[in-house]
Chain A
Amino acid sequence: MQILTANELLSGASVYFGRDRRWHQDIHRARIFAEADAQELDAVIAAAGATTRLVSIAVEKVQVKAGRVVAHRLRERIRAEGPTSPRHVLQPLREGDHVSL
């Protein structure tokens, strides 16, 4: 299972492509792509690139545990939650930072 992530251009914040085709900071709202969804995933990546508002677009492996999306890599879990020591909240998205496809 995979999700699609990027950094939003204006804030630099890490964002995830959601089930509502908007980009969210909350990884748990991410659209999960199965093997069979490869074509759709490619189309979304192309559309994301075309917005010019998303940087470092990347696919990440995840599992869903008790309804929560858990990234495979620690790197991605830290990206989703923020620095650990001390804990910092995520870079907030402001009004104009929201992107949808």
Chain B
Amino acid sequence: MYRYDEFDLGFVSGRVGQFRDQVNRRIAGELTEEQFRPLRLMNGLYLQLHAYMLRVCVPYGTMNAVQLRKLAHIARKYDRGYGHFTTRQNIQFNWPRLQDVPDILEELSDVEMHAIQTSGNCIRNVTTDQFAGAAADEIIDPRPVAEIIRQWSSLHPEFTFLPRKFKIAITGAPQDRAAIRFHDIGLMAQENAAGEVGWMVYVGGGMGRTPMIGKRIRDFVPHEDLLAYLESVLRVYNRYGRRDNKYKARIKILVHEEGLATLREQVNSEFEEVKGGVLTLPEEELARIRAYFAPPQFALSDDRFDLAALKREDAGFARFVEHNSHPHRHEGYTSLTISLKPVGGVPGDATAEQMEVVADLAERFSFNELRVSHEQNLVLPHVAIRDVRAVYDVLNAHGLAEANVGQISDMITCPGLDYCALANARSIPIAQELAKRFGTAERQAEIGPLKLNISGCINACGHHHVGHIGVLGVEKKGTELYQLTLGGDASENASIGEILGPGIVAEAVPDAVERLVQTYLGLRKAKDESFISAVKRVGPEPFREAYLAA
């Protein structure tokens, strides 16, 4: 993985020193909260309902064991022994004290981590496919390009005060596991007629109160021109993006109001100027960065799973293999997802002990590589198939072997009103009740793949718009209500869920979801027609009827 060079090191430790000084001045009363707030946000420090929250960046969701151990140490020493992995592939600590934050940041910098660009109107942490560099269907490992984008965007002088935050996602595979069409810019690897690999560019996707699917602005940008092209998009956005109304400030609104054709023209004319200039990426530089992401020394092996035999021998392990393993590009290997969605748990939370267990497993069985997925799970990207049983046994002993990846209980869930100052309603208890209702192996086997996502307000941090079923917390006269949406899809067949009807109380949510599930089970053509395929085939009406039939 990428290692800091001297510039990175100096920059990150410089920032820690600067922030320590700012914290001291705030505590001494030399800075007012109005002055301090933007400074702390630039360093990932929010104030929530009960305490501060520190958001730590995990660049493109890639980590090693030493880094995860450091996160465990921070959870234990400065927090309450746990951390919350987010859908932006980052981690949040919910209980740090102000004076401790500079120390935390200093400890993070020891392992090449930081909290920069996790907040504010800048280019945020670039997200990617959690199976990057491992997936069988990948055209190219997107991480070197993600790293180059990180370097280009970190404190880019022109782009630290954008009209609004800016999120970029990138995937090197045709199957989109990074929700790229719901980002301000989404990049998907493409091969052109000459067999060269470059990038298809989508622009103007996003969630929040005005969800939009990103539109294709350019079919193919070669590697060497990618930064120039991104710079052109950002310049146009920086110039024309609305600063008068923060609800209209994201690039998706610009695309919507001006039209894709106009934006494309503006970007192209900018691109003509920038192209071939200083932002051109020389092949040597790309090669230098790529070397950091060289594939590990895989052993030769033709091992594969015999699922039928496993099912006879050990149903639990077979379920784990079936749901939590993902095809690897190298024969004899697999990528294992460690679900952070146990029934009754808090989606995305991991204790310090669990982090240490996972760090050990990464060292022993995954070439010291780890990933955070945007579905709030952890991934061991390169596990030899012959080691999977050993990994499973360790996970099982630590409550980490939930075999539910891609199933209804594998929910993306934001912190909601239990923590978040912007929330309308709680998300976590809803997730817990739904997991209790649907989380057994038998029910999930019956239902098949189904994405259910929950947000506590319209900001949509929990990706409810792209849940096959989405749950959105709203507030009416002081009570929490929940609106259900149907038919969202974050994959390459992107769609936004439709609202099914008026909000319902928390207690009614499991039954309402039950009615949707029963409707699906009743109308699917065959067992292998998934929930989302069935919804797309028949449309929302039968589901709406069932929803309203309470």
- A interface residues, Cβ below 8 angstroms from B: 7, 9-14, 52, 55-56, 72-75, 78-79, 82-86, 88, 90-91
Contact = CB atoms under 8 A, between A and B. Distances in A.
A86 B480 CA distance: 18
Interface in B21-35: 26-27, 29, 32-33
A52 B32 contact: yes
A43 to B, nearest CB: 20
B32 A85 contact: no
Contacts of B52: 12
Contacts of B33: 9, 52, 55
A91 B50 contact: yes
Contact of A12 (B26, B32, B47, B426): B47
A83 B50 contact: yes
A44 B480 CA distance: 32
A96 B52 CA distance: 17
The 4 closest A-B pairs by CB, nearest first: A12-B51, A83-B418, A12-B52, A91-B51
Contacts of A86: 346
B390 interface: no
26 contacts: A9-B26, A10-B97, A10-B99, A12-B97, A12-B98, A13-B50, A13-B51, A14-B49, A52-B33, A55-B47, A72-B478, A74-B417, A74-B480, A75-B49, A78-B418, A79-B49, A79-B50, A83-B418, A83-B419, A84-B418, A85-B418, A85-B426, A85-B429, A90-B50, A91-B50, A91-B51
A56 B47 contact: yes
| Chain B interface helix/strand/loop/mixed | loop
User: How extensive is the interface on chain B, given as a class?
Assistant: 20 to 34
Contact of A88 (B26, B80, B421, B479): B80
Interface in B230-271: none
Contacts of A11: 51, 97-98
Contacts of A52: 29, 32-33
Contacts, number: 69
Interface in B1-51: 26-27, 29, 32-33, 47-51
A58 B99 CA distance: 24
Q: Is the interface of A mostly helix, strand, loop or mixed?
A: loop
Contact of B49 (A9, A78, A85): A78
Nearest to A78: B417
A16 to B, nearest CB: 13
Given A9-B98, A73-B478, 7 more contacts: A9-B33, A13-B51, A79-B49, A84-B429, A85-B428, A85-B432, A86-B346
Interface of B: 26-27, 29, 32-33, 47-52, 80, 95-99, 346, 417-419, 421, 423, 426, 428-429, 432, 478-480
A79 B47 CA distance: 12
Nearest to A13: B51
Contacts of B96: 12
Contacts of B49: 14, 75, 78-79
Contacts of A82: 50
Contact of A85 (B97, B346, B423, B480): B346
Nearest to A76: B49
A66 B236 CA distance: 61
A55 B29 CA distance: 12
Nearest to B426: A84
Contact of B479 (A74, A83, A84): A74
Contacts of A9: 26-27, 33, 98
Nearest to B427: A85
A58 to B, nearest CB: 11
Of B47, B51, B478, chain A has the most CB atoms within 10 Å of the CB of B51
A9 B28 CA distance: 11
Contacts of A74: 417, 478-480
Contacts of A72: 478
B119 to A, nearest CB: 16
